[in-house]
Amino acid sequence: MSSKTNSKVWYYTLTAILLLFSFQTYASDTLHVVTHKRLTVVTDPSQGVNFYKAWGVFPSPKEGIRSIKLKLRMGCPDTMRCADWDYKDHITIRRTGGVKGESQDIEIGRMLTPYGGAFSKDWAFDWEVDVTDFSLLLRDSVEIEYNHTGWEPNNDRGWTITLDFEIVKGKPAWEPISIHKIYDGAYRYGDPANPIENALKPTAFTADKNAAFARLRVVQTGHGMDKPDNCAEFCSKYREIYFDQKLIDKRDIWKKCGDNPLYPQAGTWVYDRADWCPGDLMQPDLFDLPVRAGARHTVDINMEDYTSSAPSAEAYITAYVIQYKKPAAKQDAAISDIVRPTLKDAHRRQNPANVQPQVVVRNMGAAPLTRLDIRYGTKGFGQRSYTWAGNLAPAASTTISLPGVIDQAPGRNMFEVELLKPNGKKDKYPADNKMTSTFEGVPKHGATMVVYLMTNNQPDQNFYTLKNGAGEIVQERVVGTLKANTLYRDTLQLRQGNYEFLFQDSGGNGLEFWANPRGGRGKLRLLDGNGAMLQDFESDFGSSVRYAFEVGTPATPTTDALSFGLYPTRTNDTTTFDYYANHPHDVLVQIVTEPGGEVVLEQQYAELKEGVFTYDLSHHPKGRFYLVVFVGGEEKFKKRIRLKE
């Protein structure tokens, strides 16, 4: 490879990446190939696509690869703000074998960008997806392309992206033989003159003489908003997958978005969509298929019948068949993730946590996994043991909830998990049986706590539970017991121990959502016995919020907590800002134009502790503005206002 190409290759040490992701396996040999390092990406409005290519040097074909995870970090650029729209980005293997190597055009990741209009300058978020199925291609010099789609302006907004391939070397659980693309395209859906089944025809492949099974890997998202069903983005239609003319899977291509770990966002982030949500790195559907050496097999993807009078919907589908040799071991279990406790962004809604750890286990062996011993605990505390029983098929994964309290000290802690004796036998590959995660200890509060709840116009959607460490409900408000626009102050006297508070919204749009003006705005806080705020919950939370804590001594000191609210954010005239703090501060409120940042309103409040303020924007022309709040000279809150739109 040329020196120019070499300059595009990024290597980073394991230690640096572990600090970035606060997550670690005990695999014997892990390396990171970073092809795009905090690269600023913007749209090309003239084309709708903008390509960012870079080279990486991966292990040689002779080296064994146990696993590959593609980790994507997205953030706001240094010189512009985060971009606005939920566009569909593609991460692709473009070329293998160096600059003169073979063109591939293999999509290995699909990112749906978030609505970033209200993110702060220091915002960043991490996602990951397992791409081990492409290990045959991720060898030697590989050109990786990030294709950022969209049409929004590119002079004042964008994203930074980092693509990091975390590669664990070692004997593969299943040795790949070949990769065969069977579907790849934007398939028109709902056109009576050209039904989608004209394109989604059965595809055949011949099983290799050494193949024990073939894995079908499918990524599908729906886009477009035709009539009458707003397909394909906002309509739920089922998909069928056939293997050798036999139905092996049927499900709705649909995803609930109210529990997205990335929240709140500026746009319609809570709206359920055709198998994706804004701010979402797609996870593939995987199907392991039995094959006969040398035999001809067929795969067929069918969509529910649908026609539109004005068709514009498209189903974006990529599907690959990867053939594998027989598993290397009969008994082989691996831990692939720690859901709680962890600092991982993808598991924010489950953390911080103080009870019931959760881990993801994958069966890497040839035999069904029916029994597994698990040792776990926090470093510096005692270890616990648990025996899981079930029936996990080869290559399948499951999330296991482990009993007991998560021991922890204030601040950062390290949780450790080890898998032992799959099916009562020795694990043939113990290198991926251990994992640790860094996590934050939960706060400790006094015995008196107040649940402060101001309901909105739709209280029939809300309910909450408070459970102790044994999972017993010690306080609740059930569905149907709350009144609209009413302040509730539930005072609780709690015994020493661990607790988890869970507040839910069955409508999936929280206590406030800008596109649901009929719902109004509610507010949820937890207070101590003196009325000081312990926890303030974002009203625009989607489906649920949870809060884990401990009751005991010494209690965590009450912080100088701040609470902000702005509603409505879509208005023809006025908007109302509310503010609360445990201690008084000098507060500056500005309303500025977007774009440009011209200040059209400014108010200063000296030694402000609590207040509700209404601002009239009716004399301004149609447009978008930001309300920005500075507390003690530091920007603490920023939210967009849509005026007369």
473 pLDDT more than 90: yes
Q: Is position 253 within any domain?
A: yes
Q: What is the mean pLDDT of residues 299-314?
A: 95
Q: Which of 337-346, 348-357, 602-611, 636-645 has the lowest mean pLDDT?
A: 636-645
Q: Is position 227 within any domain?
A: yes
Statement to judge: residues 21 and 95 lie in one domain: yes
Statement to judge: residues 553 and 429 lie in one domain: no
Which residues are registered as beta bridge partners of 320?
A: 181, 217
Statement to judge: residues 482 and 534 lie in one domain: yes
Q: What is the mean pLDDT of residues 295-301?
A: 98
Cα distances (angstroms) measured from residue 201 to each of 241, 298, 300, 322, 342: 11, 10, 6, 19, 44
Centre a 10 Å sphere on the Cβ of residue 328 and count the other Cβ atoms it contains: 17
pTM beyond cutoff 0.85:
yes
Residue-wise pLDDT for 393-442, tens only, equals 999 999 999 999 999 999 999 999 999 999 999 999 999 999 999 999 99
Q: What is the mean pLDDT of residues 445-462?
A: 97
pLDDT at 1: 43
CA distance linking residue 110 with residue 147, whole number of Å: 9
28 pLDDT more than 60: no
Statement to judge: residues 210 and 317 lie in one domain: yes
Statement to judge: residues 11 and 156 lie in one domain: yes
Statement to judge: residues 159 and 192 lie in one domain: no
Sheet harboring 333-340: ordered strands across? Answer: 333-340, 358-363, 397-401
Domain boundary among 530, 559, 588: 559
Centre a 10 Å sphere on the Cβ of residue 454 and count the other Cβ atoms it contains: 17
pLDDT at 282: 98
Statement to judge: residues 117 and 78 lie in one domain: yes
Q: How many domains does the chain have?
A: 4
pLDDT at 15: 35
19 pLDDT more than 60: no
Percent of the chain predicted with pLDDT > 70:
96
Q: How confident is the model at residue 99 (pLDDT cuts 50, 70, 90)?
A: confident
Q: Of residues 27 and 76, which shows the higher confidence score?
A: 76
Statement to judge: residues 501 and 580 lie in one domain: no
26 pLDDT more than 60: no
Statement to judge: residues 545 and 565 lie in one domain: no
DSSP annotation string for 290-324: E--TT-EEEEEEEE-----SS--EEEEEEEEEEEE
88-96 and 102-112 as β-strands: parallel, antiparallel, unpaired? antiparallel
For residues 367, 372, 375 and 377, what is the CA-based torsion angle, rounded to 10 degrees? 100
Q: What is the mean pLDDT of residues 531-560?
A: 92
Domain boundary among 559, 594, 613: 559
CATH number of the domain encompassing residue 550:
2.60.40
Q: Is position 331 within any domain?
A: no
Q: Is position 332 within any domain?
A: no
- CA nearest 412: which of 448, 454, 378, 385? 378
Q: What is the mean pLDDT of residues 113-126?
A: 93
> Residues 129, 284: contact at Cβ < 8 Å?
yes
Q: Is position 25 within any domain?
A: yes
Burial label for 541, CB within 10 Å (0-12, 13-18, 19+), is: buried
Q: Is position 424 within any domain?
A: yes
Q: Is position 226 within any domain?
A: yes
Statement to judge: residues 12 and 135 lie in one domain: yes
510 pLDDT more than 50: yes
Q: What is the mean pLDDT of residues 252-271?
A: 96
Q: Is position 333 within any domain?
A: no
Statement to judge: residues 102 and 207 lie in one domain: no
Domain boundary among 559, 590, 605: 559
Statement to judge: residues 28 and 152 lie in one domain: yes
97: domain range? 3-173+338-440
CATH number of the domain encompassing residue 199:
2.60.120.230
Residues 6 or more apart whose CB falls under 8 angstroms from that of 316 comprise 88, 110, 185, 186, 187, 220, 221, 222, 223
